[in-house]
Chains A and B, each alone.
Chain A
Amino acid sequence: MFYETVRLALQAIMRNLLRSFLTVLGIVIGVAAVIALVTVGQGSTDQVEADVTALGTNLLMIKPGQASQGPGSTTGSAASLTLKDVDAIESEIARVRVAAPTSARSMTAIYGNENHATSVTGTDNRYLVARDWEVALGRSFYDSELRAGAAACIIGDTIRAELFGNGDPLGAAIRLKQISCRVIGVLEARGASSFGTDQDDLILLPIRTFQRRIAGNQDVDLIYAAVKENASTEKAKADIERLMRERRRISAGEEDDFNVFDMKQISSMLTGITTVLTSLLSAVAAVSLFVGGIGIMNIMLVSVTERTREIGIRLAVGATEGQVLLQFLVESIVLSLIGGLIGIILGLGLALIGVRILAVPFAPDPTLIGVAFLFSAVVGVVFGYFPARRAARLDPIEALRHQ
């Protein structure tokens, strides 16, 4: 009997295909919107998390300056960091695996007729360790180069592609303003991050070379500190704050004149934004689903009126109230499930386009799809019940007389 009812419902739907399609349009759009938005949103969140993980979730960044400023803010008047700070953090804090100094400037790198604006960073080999970054071609800095402040550089993959194309960069001399430096290595490619930056667009110099010949001071702009595998990032952060207060002679009660950033904070901040956006848009989409449900109810009511005579015939030949109710209910459920199915397919299609454009991973959530499907069925039951009951309660004589 149930199979029979579904067959009857499908027959009724097929008999008026265009109207059936218009009926479910609201559901289709609602479901498609929810699926597309949530899937793309999830992809962006995944991307941000992946980027942060690639950067190292156990990475802390130390910067001079007043508290509550972002990692990109300017240093201000606070005393700068030094190489001694880097060594102290690394040697005195057990929870820190490695600490690396960095100072960076935007500069134009020139090789032959090619030139490319990039970020030149003064650091040492510890930077590669802290960021788990391998040299794909050539080698890292020799200690002698680091000590002497030699004009040797390691380039990112973007620089290699921009300046050398398919040529061999090793041993070539790149011009950075007044200095000429020899390429000793190329970093493995990391690709773009969701922060919108190309991670491979950089040139590494020994920190002393940078300080002496580019910055003209002894400053370290930013220290990267990688926390040991099983150590708590929170505790390492507290350790560093205590050490730095001591080293910078900040008395109790005075505010920090430096900042320690946790990559997890940054990542949760960023994913927080995408999550809020996703849920906001999904709420809008859910409203359209509700409107879609009302659309179904409306059309089902029209359908009941239009098919009054048919209902009269069914009642006359012996259909019970329950059988007519079931028929119309199943019809609206089947209708909204079809709408839900089309919506899911359409939504995934839109999501696929969306993730291509945003260059984030495509991560469809089976739970979400299941919920969307279930929700369509619920919409069918809820909004189909009232019209179905109206159909079932029709007076057969009146219904048969209906034109």
Chain B
Amino acid sequence: MTERVSKKNTEDPQAAPLIHLEGVSKIYGQGEAKVYALRGIDLVIQSGEFAAIMGPSGSGKSTAMNIIGCLDTPTEGHYRFGGVEVGGLGRDQRALLRRNFLGFVFQGYNLLARTSALDNVELPLIYKGVPAAKRKSMALEALAKVGLAGRESHDPSQLSGGQQQRVAIARAIVTRPDVILADEPTGNLDSARGEEIMDLLTALNRDEGITIIMVTHEPDMAEYADRLIRFVDGRVESDVQNPVRN
């Protein structure tokens, strides 16, 4: 359970970019009911970037995130993750990519109910086959990193929304991934709690070099990123460096 899908060295600028979408389209349904969620997206994200994706509802942001996160595959075009053509991989191989290189943070936290914070954070490590003792120390370390030391035995129901989202971030980083994909991570939080989450993501990007791709509707949150990508109607409408941060 520990086999890794080979991935080219992303430190080398000559090598393939970490995330490379080329003419990616996603079509749902068939015939009359055909829906174009993405219409030929070209996008390159390098290792270490912090990118925010914005755009109106239904513009395909989540669809793109799912493809980047190897949860889904493009209908047309190519998606290469570290040089690996994801479209050609099977379900289990994509699961291995997710487990080894990707971490997810969702708007609705998506923690296992009636399961302690510690067990929630350990979950990806179980599937990686990490031995129990190592797992526990790694999970405790991740929880400490998100500022939840001492809360490991709490159930999600005993934690505030902000704390739950931090458990989710701990779960995303416990495997030491290359990329964190966060789809509206602050969508359910008030702005103060949202800013705490953004500070945390920023720190992870800056201190650990984790690439972060985040979807958000809130311009305030997007300000934390150093790149702003705007989706409209399944296309990239604009893609700029954040003038505030750079």
Chain A: residues with CB nearer than 8 A to chain B?
Answer: 1, 4, 8, 11, 15, 309-310, 312-323, 396-397, 400
Q: Which residues B87-133 have CB closer than 8 A to chain A? A: 91-92, 95-96, 98-100, 104, 106, 110-115, 119, 123-124, 126-129, 132
Q: Look across to chain A and name the residue whose beta carbon is closest to the beta carbon of B97.
A: A318
Which of A1, A11, A316 sits near B71, CB closer than 8 Å?
A: A316
- The answer to whether A315 and B129 touch across the interface, beta carbons within 8 angstroms, is no
- The answer to whether A397 and B72 touch across the interface, beta carbons within 8 angstroms, is yes
Which of A8, A15, A313, A321 sits near B110, CB closer than 8 Å?
A: A313
B202 sits at the interface (CB 8 A): no
- The answer to whether B123 and A314 touch across the interface, beta carbons within 8 angstroms, is yes
- The answer to whether B127 and A319 touch across the interface, beta carbons within 8 angstroms, is yes
- The answer to whether B95 and A1 touch across the interface, beta carbons within 8 angstroms, is no
Given A321-B91, A323-B127, A397-B66, 19 new contacts (CB under 8 A): A1-B1, A1-B129, A15-B114, A310-B112, A312-B110, A313-B111, A314-B123, A316-B71, A317-B98, A317-B99, A317-B127, A318-B98, A318-B128, A319-B95, A320-B91, A320-B95, A320-B96, A322-B92, A397-B71
A residues less than 8 Å from B72 (CB atoms): 397
Q: Once the chains are docked, how many angstroms separate the CA of A248 from the CA of B123? A: 92
A313, A315, A316, A319, most chain B CB atoms within 10 A: A316
A272 to chain B, nearest CB (A): 55
Closest 4 A/B residue pairs (Cβ): A318-B99, A317-B124, A320-B92, A318-B98
- The answer to whether B71 and A320 touch across the interface, beta carbons within 8 angstroms, is no
B12 to chain A, nearest CB (A): 26
B235 sits at the interface (CB 8 A): no
Q: Look across to chain A and name the residue whose beta carbon is closest to the beta carbon of B95.
A: A320
Which of B98, B99, B110, B124 sits near A400, CB closer than 8 Å?
A: B110
A318 to chain B, nearest CB (A): 2
- The answer to whether B123 and A400 touch across the interface, beta carbons within 8 angstroms, is no
Q: Tally of A-B residue pairs with Cβ under 8 A? A: 61
B69, B92, B111, most chain A CB atoms within 10 A: B92
B residues less than 8 Å from A396 (CB atoms): 71
Q: Look across to chain A and name the residue whose beta carbon is closest to the beta carbon of B99.
A: A318
B166 sits at the interface (CB 8 A): no
A88 to chain B, nearest CB (A): 85
What are 18 inter-chain pairs, A to B, with CB distance below 8 A? A1-B129, A11-B115, A11-B119, A312-B110, A313-B111, A313-B112, A314-B127, A316-B71, A317-B99, A317-B171, A318-B99, A318-B100, A319-B95, A320-B91, A320-B92, A321-B92, A397-B66, A397-B72
Q: Look across to chain B and name the residue whose beta carbon is closest to the beta carbon of A396.
A: B71
A residues less than 8 Å from B112 (CB atoms): 310, 313
Q: Once the chains are docked, how many angstroms separate the CA of A323 from the CA of B95? A: 11
A13 to chain B, nearest CB (A): 12
Q: Once the chains are docked, how many angstroms separate the CA of A205 from the CA of B71? A: 96
A residues less than 8 Å from B171 (CB atoms): 317
A321 to chain B, nearest CB (A): 6
- The answer to whether B127 and A320 touch across the interface, beta carbons within 8 angstroms, is yes
B residues less than 8 Å from A4 (CB atoms): 126, 132
- The answer to whether B124 and A318 touch across the interface, beta carbons within 8 angstroms, is yes
Which of B100, B110, B119 sits near A316, CB closer than 8 Å?
A: B110
A residues less than 8 Å from B96 (CB atoms): 318, 320
